[in-house]
Amino acid sequence: MDDDIIYRTLIYKRGNETAVYDGFLQKENKAVCIKIIYCASLADANNKLNESYTMNRVKDIRNIIKIYKTDIGQAQGRYFLRVIMDLFENGNLADLIKSRCPNNYWPEEDLLNYLTQLVEVFSILEERKVAHRDIKPENIFVSNDLKDLIVGDLGTAKEHFNLSETIAGTPMYLSPLLRQAYITFLSGSSINLQHDPFKSDVYSLGLTFLYMASLRECSDLLNLANLMEKTRQRIDELNWYPNLQPILRKMLTYSESDRESFKSIYQSLKKFNVNTTQLEKSCLVCCRIIIEEIINIGIESVCKKCWESFNEKLWTFAAAEYIDNTYISGYLNTNKCQYCKKPNHVGYSCFAFRNNPIDLKCGICSLSGNQFSNCFSNGGFWVMCQIGHNYCVVCNRGIGYNHTLCSLVMNTAYMANS
């Protein structure tokens, strides 16, 4: 393993399965969380690593935990997967709820704001056919300013294009259909399960917010006997939350077929968000309705959050000799810089960063690129490194990431200078 990562304090350990550390990522100059997942074999580690690559395509969504790096290591004869991600000093939502017990209730406006944030995230995940499958307070993190909730622990998340036949999640937060299947499984009987994993996620998030609103755990709802009546009573008790109550009823509907989707619930929540009265425009990158400052690039619109996240990375690795006019003239049969369209660049392309060109290193393996694999296609401008990784000259990341904004900036500048 490289020594760019400093381990500081052991935060959590579960037997011989998982360890979580407070650490420091020197390359990013920031505190991070280091999660170690021990694996039965190298094949098991590679399977988990492949799952983490699948999750790369959702990391552009606001309010999802940022993962900086995943790799496989070996220590004392055991393989493990290491995940480097954001560290949240305020811990998770379970910690925050417990700190407010027994009766320091949130204002309803704050609860609706938190719920809107998360329903929006899960709506986008559903559009991309990714189900979380283990929503609970312990897997939701709290931003340092306490204003945002961040979805984390995507270890059980999977792509779903049809009904699911598997059970995943924590028993207390399973939907009624999954809980019944789980009970049947524990009894030793065979199960024939088909369920909508996204509707199951809706129920899990509903239980999370029932706990959050009442400051009482939902252990009394574990038993399926009279569950509909017990759930109704729990929600009816929250008469100081008149706007939240009907939303919880929709989310905690017993029948999966009658339960509303995240998208439908988001539409119900929008009327409680004062910012949604603004002119609605969709962000090209994250597809959310823009409710904050709009960044216009050409004829397209990008939300401020996506732009700020992208702008931190923009031009951090300069293309230097790999994109100068000499190289491009050989590849594209033109004597003009492909970016600014000016002929006869002196030395370097206009990607040069602060007039101090740096070799464009592959963000996957850190080797230099040696050829263009594509130009202005597949949402990016690609270089291939010496061992065959394709990576973007704008943000230095691989194909698995979202390069919509890279392509937009490149093409806008390209067309403007044509």
114 pLDDT more than 90: yes
Lowest mean pLDDT among 71-75, 92-96, 268-272: 268-272
363 pLDDT more than 80: no
328 pLDDT more than 50: no
Tokens of 179: 């809980």
CB half-sphere exposure, 42, CA atoms < 13 A = 3
Task: With cut-offs at 50, 70 and 90, classify the pLDDT of residue 376.
Answer: very low
- Give the per-residue pLDDT at 208: 98
pLDDT (average), residues 99-104: 93
Cis peptide before 102 (omega within 30 of 0): yes
In single-letter form, the type of residue at position 22 comes to D
In single-letter form, the type of residue at position 207 comes to L
Q: Are 255 and 263 in contact (CB under 8 A)?
A: no
d(CA 79, CA 40): 7
352 pLDDT more than 60: no
- Give the per-residue pLDDT at 165: 55
Return the top range by mean pLDDT from 57-66, 207-216, 330-339.
207-216
Task: With cut-offs at 50, 70 and 90, classify the pLDDT of residue 200.
Answer: very high
Tokens of 367: 């080797």
- What are the chain's domains? 5-86 (3.30.200.20), 93-277 (1.10.510.10), 313-416 (no CATH)
Lowest mean pLDDT among 39-43, 241-245, 277-281: 277-281
Higher-pLDDT residue of 208 and 279 is: 208
225 pLDDT more than 90: yes
Query: How far apart, in Å, are the Cα atoms of 26 and each of 86, 241, 250, 339?
Result: 13, 45, 46, 32
pLDDT digits (tens, 9 = 90+) for 47-88: 777 666 656 667 778 899 888 888 888 988 899 999 888 999
Q: What is the pTM of this model?
A: 0.65
- Give the per-residue pLDDT at 252: 98
- Give the per-residue pLDDT at 107: 92
d(CA 52, CA 213): 33
122 pLDDT more than 70: yes
Parallel, antiparallel or unpaired: strands 30-39 and 158-159: unpaired
Task: With cut-offs at 50, 70 and 90, classify the pLDDT of residue 106.
Answer: very high
Could you give the percent of the chain with pLDDT greater than 70?
Answer: 63
For residue 179, give the H/E element and its range: helix 176-186
95 pLDDT more than 50: yes
Residue 158 burial (CB count, 10 A): 17
